[in-house]
Structure 1
């Protein structure tokens, strides 16, 4: 599409919203709070001695937090948590992070409502609405170190600190957070020939250390006439270092020492804001966002032969990339009788500039550059979206919400064999929230979704550690799907709550590994696929059975998926998709004391990763377990000690690699068994 035509389209969409707004002279006040299916006042969480709103949300019976998905642009709302009935107009500054900065004393209650009743298009099923109030200046902090028995240095830099307050109509929060993590594992790997004989024996140990300090702020101003303005800003640095050292030997092969080094750094910043005010018969919200990320990355693999004659070998992969995203969005909502209306228009502009270098170690010990076609390019997308929505009650016990519209995008790759393409894609949602009884809530949703694109998938890349290479694919398009879901929540009163979810997703243009050329492979699109399943979760209170202060949280998830393999034509599961997951958590807050203890056990099984040249499965397990003890009030501090990986989960791989593609004979079978070991985690949290 011509840029001038695109600009005219966006201006026309915004003008339409304003024209609708000006059909009356009086502005409408913000919509009333939705009726809660379940409401939990702040006093219900007192026994947990929470420091912030997130601590309280984690204890809501039967509720499992679902993080917001990264949508194209800002798009419709996702996830299942909002604050004061509003979503946060940001991407890096998510709602869960914001809840960690809201002092527990500022939380009025947490309402569990049907998403369709919130008048926020995109939300459905059980949604937590955290209702807060302004308070004076207060602060909170936490420090969360951990120590692992094997391979890994102590992690002592994870923690956060924040200050919140208000003055008149202004509320503010400033926070510093470091999501640090140290991990590692070590052990043996055996490589077997196709006939089952041993080819190679390996003993490796690795450690990864990550620090991601992030400084962020949020400002909210509420005027006397009801106008609301929000400003979100953040800046983050990233440090990641990976080290792997190994020794290899095998029949007829020289002994070798192998080293792998990875480094990733850079920084990200984001500024976003919105302004909502009354216009005509409704309210108009204008939203803007600007985000930038610079993420240099390098990986080096070297092998030293110990026979005294073979020269060292090695490879180096280095990538330097910059990402930019700018979004302008307008939303206008109004009421006519019992109906809620909303129209939204959005323009999003995304760009990735990436430069990659590949080098091989020559016999003299010098890295020499080699070409990697399709690795250096710019990928960009200009996207415009127009969506209208309508909500209307169906009697006294149900509400219908319908949204429909389309997006137009121009997707271009400059360099790396790129091309320019244009697409027009419909999207929308039909959902019904039904409350047949006072203790049962049912939600039905049908949605047409357009998935997010990862621009790195367009470009050629390599993984030196696993000896894999993806060719560039400029023909990649977003994944789309028809999603049908039914969710029912039953409140059993003093015994707890339970939620059952059934879903069926019919996928178009599934993103998976496909053949490229005569012998290449890359992420691309498969015409159709399907995934469907059932999820059951609940909170069961044990007080009616005589165990005061105790509860059990359970979650069970079964999923099936189907796709026709692009190489063999045989139907199989979607690569890496979930097969089943279960989790059981017990927490006992000892009555009359400030002590609590409990455990968490979970297990997950995923489908094998299927590439054109191999089939493999890399996992950690078979079961993860954690034991904890907590002192909720030790001179004003919360102390927690835990033993994670109490069931001795390990790191495993079972991988079959072929001489060419999977239709060719088997080359080798890789079997890995690495120890992780126990993890001793601690937490100290307080307020000021």
Structure 2
């Protein structure tokens, strides 16, 4: 077992003539920020506005399988986006600031709001008036090495008779600042340099993205459909001129090409005090990576082809029992598959790589219940219980079958003795997801020749989390937040060096 402790202090102050609006007592813990609050900052999009909310830190979400836990800490019209490749950050960039009616910051929970297991979220509320809005931009980036990278972006939305259409496209090139020019020095155990070189590296990518969404009333409820097609190609070229251990030139050329596509849908209908939400999501994600390394002593060819598919469905029921108590129950099911093929050739000889040709499948279900009780206007208690069950199989180079089951309770308490003070506490068992990339081999894409070898026989990391936070609001738009968080970790996933033939697997 490992323990981890974290503490954070955040202080935010924004000067503005517009004052944030406290909500009525029934929604204590909700502060509404109108567009006028952000006027002095000159925002262009909803993302600009979210990033300037006092006492709020934007989280775009995690890359996980399934929808639970994948969304960030921002809702749009009270709902999280049903998308993954089309990230929350990109979605907020497409919402013009003129389309925003207000942004609510919700601390501790509010009636009818799905907090997504978080203690603080923001809700972007859009204007519902009919009409069309759009924007287009063109950018050019002249680089020091003579390259000129151009990009075009356009988005628009049309709202009429309760319907909504959104379209967006991006087509253009951009630099990759993870690589650059400069000296490289590597030291040995005795402190003396064993490699001294000068690196000349260029990298760029091309985005060809099209996304869209359609909303309409249907069957006395509301249906939203969204889709995305995103092609991203990139190249990296590296010249490494060594002076130690001797004059030499090393060359590497890397081409990772990614194709992503997704379709998602959400249907919501209210039956008196009960609301029904049904979600469906399908994505395809293909990544083809080629890397060639050349030097006087080594000629290395690496090729990895990964194809990922995901199918997710979820049904959720919420019922308000009284003004003080709300119950929620639902179930999410998902099927994920990864097909990975990896080859490595060194000096003309094929090197055996562990877990190089593997298919991994996961079938997972997660039923859950949530109860939110507000015994008084200044106290909110939320209890949740989730049961995650999954079956993972691996075929190909490694044949393995594993069944997993985890109970994940959660208790969150929010106490707001005054509009300026709020205390929050959380006790929760968190269970991470096994990363499919840990099951298969991959390259570090570096001239060291180190590979990341797969290990299908893994267990997910688990943690008991104890968290406490105090928030103090001051003046008209300032906030200071102190958060203390403690983790009790088990089954931590790490890496260890393993020598395999001519290369080192990690």
TM range (shorter): 0.7 to 0.9
SS of the equivalent of 1:513 reads coil
Distance in 2 between residues matched to 1:517 and 1:192, nearest whole Å: 21
Structure-1-length-normalised TM-score? 0.65
Distance in 2 between residues matched to 1:247 and 1:94, nearest whole Å: 39
Displacement of 1:63: 2.3
Unaligned runs of 5+ in 2: 1-24
Note closer, same or farther for the CA distance 1:222–1:368 as it changes in structure 2 (3 Å cut): same
Displacement of 1:69: 1.7
Distance in 1 between residues matched to 2:367 and 2:398, nearest whole Å: 32
SS of the equivalent of 1:510 reads coil
1:119-162, CA deviations, whole angstroms, 9 ceiling, x for partnerless residues?
3153433321111122411101234444554x5834432x5310
Q: 2:415 aligns with which of 428, 434, 443?
A: 434
The Cα RMSD (Å) is 2.6
What residue number does 1:487 align with? 469
Displacement of 1:197: 4.2
What residue number does 2:8 align with? none
The question of whether the paired residues in 2 share the 8 Å contact of 1:152 and 1:207 is answered with no
SS of the equivalent of 2:397 reads coil
Note closer, same or farther for the CA distance 1:393–1:517 as it changes in structure 2 (3 Å cut): farther
Q: 1:69 aligned to 2:51? A: no
The question of whether the paired residues in 1 share the 8 Å contact of 2:30 and 2:106 is answered with yes
Q: 1:506 aligned to 2:498? A: no
1:48-100, CA deviations, whole angstroms, 9 ceiling, x for partnerless residues?
33332222222323322112123431115753211122111222233332222
1:341-352 pair list within 5 angstroms: 341-352=327-338
Q: 1:228 aligned to 2:222? A: yes
The question of whether the paired residues in 2 share the 8 Å contact of 1:80 and 1:128 is answered with yes
Structure-2-length-normalised TM-score? 0.87
What residue number does 1:388 align with? 369
1:544-600, CA deviations, whole angstroms, 9 ceiling, x for partnerless residues?
xxxxxxxxxxxxxxxxxxxxxxxxxxxxxxxxxxxxxxxxxxxxxxxxxxxxxxxxx
Structure of greater Rg: 1
Distance in 2 between residues matched to 1:144 and 1:429, nearest whole Å: 47
Q: 1:100 aligns with which of 93, 99, 120?
A: 93
Note closer, same or farther for the CA distance 1:197–1:55 as it changes in structure 2 (3 Å cut): closer
Note closer, same or farther for the CA distance 1:76–1:239 as it changes in structure 2 (3 Å cut): closer
Distance in 1 between residues matched to 2:364 and 2:312, nearest whole Å: 10
Unaligned runs of 5+ in 1: 1-31, 305-311, 362-366, 523-610, 612-688
Note closer, same or farther for the CA distance 1:49–1:205 as it changes in structure 2 (3 Å cut): same
Q: 1:163 aligns with which of 145, 156, 160?
A: 156
Distance in 2 between residues matched to 1:513 and 1:320, nearest whole Å: 22
What residue number does 1:667 align with? none
Note closer, same or farther for the CA distance 1:142–1:480 as it changes in structure 2 (3 Å cut): farther
Instruction: Tell me which moved more, 382-391 or 513-522.
Output: 513-522
What residue number does 1:373 align with? 354
Q: 2:248 aligns with which of 225, 248, 256?
A: 256
Note closer, same or farther for the CA distance 1:78–1:442 as it changes in structure 2 (3 Å cut): farther
Note closer, same or farther for the CA distance 1:204–1:349 as it changes in structure 2 (3 Å cut): same
The question of whether the paired residues in 2 share the 8 Å contact of 1:115 and 1:123 is answered with no
Displacement of 1:385: 0.8
The question of whether the paired residues in 2 share the 8 Å contact of 1:77 and 1:121 is answered with no
The question of whether the paired residues in 2 share the 8 Å contact of 1:81 and 1:128 is answered with yes
Distance in 1 between residues matched to 2:267 and 2:26, nearest whole Å: 20
Distance in 2 between residues matched to 1:326 and 1:479, nearest whole Å: 24
Displacement of 1:329: 0.8
Q: 2:443 aligns with which of 456, 459, 462?
A: 462
The question of whether the paired residues in 2 share the 8 Å contact of 1:51 and 1:140 is answered with no
Distance in 2 between residues matched to 1:394 and 1:176, nearest whole Å: 48
1:586-601 pair list within 5 angstroms: none
1:335-380, CA deviations, whole angstroms, 9 ceiling, x for partnerless residues?
111211111111100010011111123xxxxx44333232111011
1:658-677, CA deviations, whole angstroms, 9 ceiling, x for partnerless residues?
xxxxxxxxxxxxxxxxxxxx
Distance in 2 between residues matched to 1:462 and 1:332, nearest whole Å: 44
Q: 2:379 aligns with which of 394, 398, 402?
A: 398
The question of whether the paired residues in 1 share the 8 Å contact of 2:54 and 2:477 is answered with no
The question of whether the paired residues in 2 share the 8 Å contact of 1:116 and 1:432 is answered with no
Distance in 2 between residues matched to 1:316 and 1:415, nearest whole Å: 22
Q: 1:218 aligned to 2:213? A: yes
The question of whether the paired residues in 1 share the 8 Å contact of 2:367 and 2:386 is answered with yes
Larger relative contact order, structure 1 or 2 (CA cutoff 8 Å, min sep 6): 2
Distance in 1 between residues matched to 2:328 and 2:460, nearest whole Å: 26
The question of whether the paired residues in 1 share the 8 Å contact of 2:71 and 2:80 is answered with no
Note closer, same or farther for the CA distance 1:196–1:60 as it changes in structure 2 (3 Å cut): closer
1:312-351 pair list within 5 angstroms: 313-337=298-322, 338-351=324-337
1:482-518, CA deviations, whole angstroms, 9 ceiling, x for partnerless residues?
2222222221124722222211122221121146699
Distance in 1 between residues matched to 2:469 and 2:132, nearest whole Å: 40
